[in-house]
Each structure stands twice: as structure tokens, then as C-alpha cells.
Structure 1
Amino acid sequence: MTKVFTVQAGEKWSGIIGRGRLINMKALGNRSNLSALFFHAPYFSERYNMPDTLKAQHSAYLTQGHILMSDQGKAMISITEDSVGWHDPLSGYTTRSGTDAKYGLTRYQTERNNWYRSGAENFTVEMYRHQLTPRDLTTPVNFFSKVVCELDGSMRYMSQETAGRSVTLRTEMDVLVVFSNTPNPFDPDTGYPTTAIEIAVSDARPLQEDDCCLNYCAENRRAFENTWNAYELMRGAIQS
């Protein structure tokens, strides 16, 4: 069974997605940026860890073959397909003050649902639904955005065609996913983006030995083995 829904520009979504599912994210226009946080369900103290993910895979961006690692060295998410080619794990999320300064002051009381949301606010609201607080905010993955690290340490936003392109994730653990369709903080355009993202969740095929994510590097295989061992030990345990 496939569940399809759309996250409009400025909107947010969160939910627990079980292990062994595919999450296909398709951009319905350009200037796309879907910020995402990932937590292990139901043990939210374990979550996606950006430094370990990038260090282990010797990369400053994410694409097909990469995995998202937890802060306990487990494989949480695999990127199994990607027609975009570059996703930003470094830039963070937009704030209320930054959104007002770049796009103009808006308020729900006057603009209603047309007001400009920030990533920080969207994440905070959705995380509260799952008993998480602002102290649980970490650096998200900004899918569909390209931010390049220069030799001097500076970061530069680079536009790329995203309309009709997609990226597919596979859940290696039970995960709480938190999405915010808000601008990349490094995007220099002063017009608030209007692109929606279509999300389709379906069942994944069983992992094969020749899987590109499993074999990307030795560190990936160890992360998968950590996940497999943990789930084997948890089998039959009471989860609360």
C-alpha cells in the first residue's frame, strides 16, 4: 500500500514511519527545500547525527548511496535513489527573525495561512506533538538544496533544477520523521518559495547483499550491522 500526501510551501508534517519503508519525495517546482529531522521511534533520545554521518562517508553533501547515521552509530535512513544529486546537511533551518528580515514581516493574525513560517517554528510545533522540546532541535537535512563548502571554510548556496526531480529514502529503523517545507537559510532569493513537495510512502523490498548503501564504504556496513544487532536484541521487547 502507498500513502501519498503533499507538503505545501511553508507547511510542516511529522509522523512515525516503520522500518523497511520507502519515502519518495518529489519536488513540484524549483527552489525546493524540504528540511527534515529524524528520531528513533519510540526511543527519541537516539536521533540523526550530522557529524558522524558526514565524517564516516567523507562527504559534505548527501546523495544516492549515502546513509543517515544515528548518534549511536546505527544506520537510520538510506538514500536509495536520487535524481537531484546534491542535498545539504550543513545549513540548518530558518528562524523567525531571519525570515522577517529577508522576506518581510508577516503575522498569522493578519495574513492567516499565507504568513511566512520559519523552519525553527515548524520543527518546534511538530516536535511538541511527540513530547519533544526545542532543546531536541538538531541540524536537519535540507533535501533539494545545494550548498558548497569553499576552501576558506565559507559556504555558498548554488541553485539547481529540482522541478519534477525526486529522492527516495529507505527506513532502516522505526523513525519519527519531521518535515518543514521552508526556505534554505543560505538561499539569497528574497521571494518566499512557493514549491510544494509530494511525499509517497510505500513498502521497500528486502535488503540485498549488493545494495549500494550497504556497500558504499566499510563504515556504512558497520552501521547496518549495528542496526541489525540492536533490532535482533529488541525482538519481543515491550516498547512504551
Structure 2
Amino acid sequence: MTPASTPASSPAPAHTHEIPGSAAWSAPVRAGRTLTLTALADGANATVLIIGADRLDRLNIPDTLKSQMSARIKPGMVLMSDRGLALATVMTSSLDWHDCLTGALPDQLLLLELAKHGFGEADLHACINFFSKVSVADDPRASLTYIPDHANAGDTVTLRADQDLLIFVSTAPHALSDGPAASIALQLETPDPAEDPAPDPELCEEAIRALRLTRELIA
């Protein structure tokens, strides 16, 4: 008698959640899962902090920008840690600019979420303000200037976790914005491996190396 074959395991069901304006959320995200953020109102801002599940790797904004020759986060970029590993990849985005120079508002939202996972104020490192744009003003000080109306309701960005992560999201207004806070919807899902997209052909050598090293470590 031929033994019955073991059915293939089904992907984990998608998890959806809405974060109201001026609120925060955090959760572990397994390697390979995707996180899609959707702006639910014009002018939304999602401040995102990323820490490796091993608590060693932290999002390193200077290395992420320097190695990929950019002053903004955009589709196709690999978000790197301070050990040169890949934390997450920006898979798709309806916007080509997400601010990562300004940081977060000095409020308690992210600190409260960090405390839930045993972290403190010292762990509030550089972050990304998804859906927000900041440019250099034409003044003698080259001031950073918030660009209003950059994001509209329905704009999205999708990240793929390249290793097990802890992700923290705050919907406080951007630090340079005087507009109201807006809600963000998020969806966590496990893509079908057969539909895994090919690597972005425009990835720079440093990003490719970071992805390779990360996959070797978690294999």
C-alpha cells in the first residue's frame, strides 16, 4: 500500500489591523513575511522602528543610505543593520520618497511599545517616516522642510522581512508637520514561495551582499 502523502502546510493567514492616529503598534514578524502599510487619510505618517529578533541588529539609517547612494527610502532598497545585514526590503511603494532623516516626535508612543518588549529609551534609534517627504530648503542653513500633501489616502508601501524582526509603528504626525494624525492600516501575510519575485536587477552590490549574508545566517 502506498503511504498517504503529507499535505503541504498552508501559509499563515493574513493578519490585518488598523492603527488609529496618534497610536502605536508592535509585533514580531517572521523572515519571509510581508508587511503592507496603507495610508487611510491624506498626510498620513507611519514612523517605523526595526530591531532584529536576536536584539543585536538595529536599523542603521546612515549605512542604508550611504551604501545605496540615496537620501530617501524608496522601492527596491534594502534596509540594513549596523552589522551590514539585511533587515527588510522595500518591495513595492506607491510613493518614491519616504523620509528617514528627521526621526520621530519626542512622544511616548514608541517608548511604550519598546517597553512591552523589554527595551528602553536608549533603544529608540533612527527610524523611517513612511508616507512623509522632507527636502532641503533654499535658505542659508539648508534647513529640512516638510512637504505637505505628499501622501494621499490609499498610498501603500510593502516591506519583506529578510530575517526575524521586531517591528514598531507609530502614527504620530511627522515631527515637522503641523497637520493632524491619521490612521494607518497594516496587513501581515506570508507570500506563496512560488510567487517570490526575482531580485531587483537595480540592487547595488552592497545590498546584494547584505541579502546574501543574511540568508546564509538564517538558512
On the 8 A contact 2:59/2:79 being kept in 1, the answer is yes
On the 8 A contact 2:132/2:151 being kept in 1, the answer is no
1:40-189 alignment, distance < 5 Å: 40-41=52-53, 43-95=54-106, 118=107, 121-149=108-136, 153-159=142-148, 160-187=150-177, 189=178
Q: Which runs of 4+ in 1 moved over 2 A?
A: 149-154, 204-210
The 1:221/1:209 distance shift into structure 2, 3 A limit, reads farther
- The Cα shift of 1:161 comes to 3.3
Partner of 2:188 in structure 1? 201
Partner residue of 1:217 out of 199, 204, 207: 204
Partner of 1:228 in structure 2? 215
Query: Under a length normalisation based on structure 2, what TM-score does the superposition of the two structures give?
Result: 0.87
- The Cα shift of 1:150 comes to 5.1
Q: In structure 2, how many angstroms separate the alpha carbons of the residues matched to 1:84 and 1:205?
A: 25
Q: Does 1:24 align with 2:36?
A: yes
Please tell me the root mean square deviation across aligned C-alpha atoms, in Å.
Answer: 1.7
Query: Under a length normalisation based on structure 1, what TM-score does the superposition of the two structures give?
Result: 0.80
Q: Does 1:5 align with 2:17?
A: yes
- The Cα shift of 1:149 comes to 3.3
Between Structure 1 and Structure 2, how many residues are aligned? Answer: 203
Task: State the percentage of identical aligned residues.
Answer: 31
- The Cα shift of 1:44 comes to 1.1
Q: In structure 1, how many angstroms separate the alpha carbons of the residues matched to 2:197 and 2:21?
A: 38
- The Cα shift of 1:56 comes to 0.5
- The Cα shift of 1:192 comes to 2.8
On the 8 A contact 1:36/1:142 being kept in 2, the answer is yes
Partner residue of 1:39 out of 30, 51, 57: 51
On the 8 A contact 1:215/1:221 being kept in 2, the answer is no
- The Cα shift of 1:67 comes to 1.2
